[in-house]
Amino acid sequence: MTAEPRAPRAYPRARTVFRARGVPVRLDWSVLLIAALVGWVLAGLLADSPSLQGASTAVIGVAAAVGTVLFFASVLVHELGHAWTSQERGLPVAGITLFLLGGLTEATAEAKRARDDFMIVAAGPFMSLTLAAAFGLAHEGLRATDLAALVPAAVLAAYLGWANLALAVLNLVPAFPLDGGRLLRSVLWALGAGTHRSTRLAARVGQAFALGLGGVGIWALTRDTGPGLGGIWELIIALFLFKGAADAARSARLRERLAGRRVGEVMGAAPPPLSADLPLHDAAVALRQHPALLWPVDDPPSAAVRLADLEALDRRRWSTTALAEVASDLAGQTASAEEDLDDAVARMVDAPAGMLLVLDERGAARGLLTPSLVADVTERARR
């Protein structure tokens, strides 16, 4: 599953475990819950398989554990399909997070063409279909050897093949924010609906699907009399999909209202620049005049700082610490006055302070773009 362009904040407690071709791969704690469920279900399926009747509990347990690891490896390969295709098309990727409901690839920029968007999204299901075929061939090859020691591996390969096929099919359902909904968005975009209107239309389809799935979950919940999950899983997925679609529709509506405007039309005045050599004690006096703003450091600015950056440091060090030591790099925190407001707002989500310094052609601070200024614009457009 791909995500709208953003910084990796959806699961802030996720831990990076390794990098794959430069892409951070993170694990959220909730993945442990689904891993336990997958292992339990897989152990039950293996124990009930006619080919494994009489197999020891140890064999079933080891096969289930290996299958669980391979299942999550399959989810990761699906997400790497999105991430690597994004990179090949010049779009940076913040990372991949594995969590309760699967995987999420977080981009830091969005495709400018419907074709690129389609290829990035389609890469995930394509990888899952490729894995389904690979596990299917492995199953046939292992079964053909007719060696008793390889029977558990053959059965496991069959289940993993079906699991990857199911993963591909589920993601191709045209319900935003699933991959199928994003493919629908890219097709509508290519047909001339525009990226934001296409997102809204695909999100509505996603909300309708989520409501239908929630209805199925409620129906199953009312009919279930046993100890099973009885519709709870469907309700969890429905809530996740509905919220994701609603957030996407809201964001697309906002950005539609910003279309055609320039940053210079909206920006406010930038605070006066502060010297990088200024002691924090003296800098705090100035910063407290406008504590919520982002201040340029030097002129032209070489960094930026907020009052919160100072307050994160022990005050006993304020008299001996220069402003340059706590100021943040300008990367990702600047915009041009002639830049489309829509594009600048998309980057504000990634900016550490949620604000952008507006620089002129000489690199000097000309203005400041803040969330409140953007909110004022959208509120006026709504009227």
Q: 72-109, pLDDT tens digit by residue? A: 999 999 999 999 999 998 888 888 998 877 888 887 77
Q: What does the pLDDT look like over 285-319, one tens digit per residue? A: 888 888 888 999 998 898 999 888 888 888 888 88
pLDDT at 241 over 50: yes
Q: What does the pLDDT look like over 28-43, one tens digit per residue? A: 888 888 889 888 988 8
Give me the count of residues in the chain.
383
Q: What does the pLDDT look like over 245-265, one tens digit per residue? A: 888 888 788 777 777 788 888
Helix ranges (H only) for the chain are 31-48, 57-88, 114-145, 151-171, 179-188, 195-223, 232-258, 263-266, 280-287, 307-311, 341-348, 371-382
179-188 vs 114-145: helix axis angle to the nearest 10?
140
pTM (predicted TM-score)? 0.73
What are the structural domains, with CATH classification, of the chain?
15-258 (no CATH), 263-382 (3.10.580.10)
Confidence of residue 379 (pLDDT cuts 50, 70, 90): low
Could you tell me whether strands 334-336 and 356-359 are parallel, antiparallel, or unpaired per DSSP bridges? parallel
pLDDT at 224 over 70: no
Specify whether the CB–CB gap between 238 and 213 falls below 8 A.
yes
